[in-house]
Amino acid sequence: MSPILNALIIWGHHRFLFHHASSGLPSVNPYLLKSVVSAIVLSWAGIPTLVRWLKKSRGPTLVHRWVLIALGVSLLWNAVLGIARNDHLFGPDGRAARFFSLRPEGEVYLSYHPGVDPLYGTKLREVTPDLVDAIRHWRIGPPKRMSQEPESFFDTATGQPKVWVSENPDGTWSFFDGPGFDDRTSTVLQPATAQWAAEYRKQGVRREELRKLEILRQQEAEEAQVAEQLRKDRAEASEGRRQEIRSHLEVGRIPKEGGPFYALNLRGEGPSPRIVAGRVQKQLGDAKVIGGFLRDSFFDSAVCRDLLSGNWSDRDDLPKEWERIAAFVVLDSVVEYGSVNLDKDLVRAVVVVKGEVYRPAGVKVSLPPIEGIGAGFSKESARAKAFENLVEAQAAAISEALRGEGE
């Protein structure tokens, strides 16, 4: 075999071994890898030549000598470059010499060739000048995340930043005690700057305003919820009152020009007439109370006993009292009926009208004389008869009033 062909075979083995070694070991320094490959090929090709030369059987040819010299120079040259540039991230031409990925466990994986991380399959990123500090600090140890916003962002002695920041997807910021990468988003941490600090304070004011607005919105929502609950409670209570009123109330509709009129008869010891009248007015819109009958409990009062006993010698006002409380009169207020307060629960029935209040003009209510109602009766049987007469008289009075002019 010719010396030149032998030299080409040796150099081809050198390049073949280096190519496959660099492909299989992307994170190994290529210069050191070249020196190792050169040493292997030099040993493979040079040792037999050296043995033959020592035995003086045959010395190396000129080509062999140059090949061995080239391998030795390659070994020394790449070893020196590998040691000198072991931590270099960029080549002499300024191009990136390393590619990196940030692993979940906090390790920075560096490679001399592009591709993917052999453990996680993530695509390697090219090292750029703005990532140098982050990578170097991360290799020493990852930065610590601060649990809360620091009091100051800069060193008071040098003015240099002592906080590095990373923006979160929701617009908030995370704070770290050194350069590196955000372990949650894999983004490069940025040093705090005066411009960033000013903008962050403005955002803080806006965040505080938004926080207050959110608190106000929550308060309004709570108040609306409470108001809705109160409305429901009032509606339930109102419905309960309506049911209670219905259970104690008889409504009689009396057709009449200017009406209609409604006679509300209270049964038993139900709600007071004032509550009933107010409820009816609310339901009928512009209804107004215009009259009423006395409640049963009135007939147990001292005034009624005096009326029914006929002992009027000390009560000259009784005939007038009779005319005032027994007759049907027009009421201008739901509070009082003459001197009888509705809140005292003395009225047995009320009459209301929807529309303009009907006032029977020129109608004179004819009452039976008071002597015919119960004068002189003092026994229980006579008193019961007197009570019946009084109720009938009231019924006749209201009927006559409703038959007034305009029929």
Contacts of 185 (CB under 8 A, 6+ apart): 166, 168, 169
The first and second tokens of residue 338, run together, are 């003459």
- Other C-beta atoms closer than 10 Å to the C-beta of 317 total 10
Q: Which pLDDT score is estimated for 376?
A: 42
User: Which residue do the tokens 């009084």 mark?
Assistant: 390
Neighbours of 33 (CB within 10 A): 18
Q: Which residues pair with 340 in a beta bridge?
A: 337
Mapping DSSP onto H, E and C, the string for 318-360 reads: HHHHHHHHHCCCCCCCCCEECCEEHHHCCEEEEEEECCCCCCC
Q: What is the pLDDT along the chain (407 residues), one digit of tens a residue?
A: 444 545 455 555 445 444 444 454 555 555 555 655 555 655 555 555 555 554 555 555 555 565 556 656 565 555 555 555 556 666 666 676 677 777 766 667 777 667 777 777 778 877 776 666 666 666 666 677 887 778 788 877 777 787 888 888 777 788 887 777 777 777 777 788 888 888 888 887 877 888 888 888 888 888 888 888 888 877 777 677 666 655 555 555 545 444 444 445 445 555 555 555 555 555 555 444 444 444 444 545 565 555 555 454 555 555 555 444 443 333 333 333 333 333 333 333 444 433 333 333 333 334 444 444 444 444 455 555 655 565 555 555 545 544 433 33
Q: Give the E-state strand segments of 164-310 in sequence order.
A: 164-167, 173-176, 190-191, 249-254, 261-266, 288-294
> In what order do the strands lie in the sheet containing 164-167?
173-176, 164-167, 190-191
The predicted pLDDT at position 52 comes to 56
Q: pTM above 0.85?
A: no
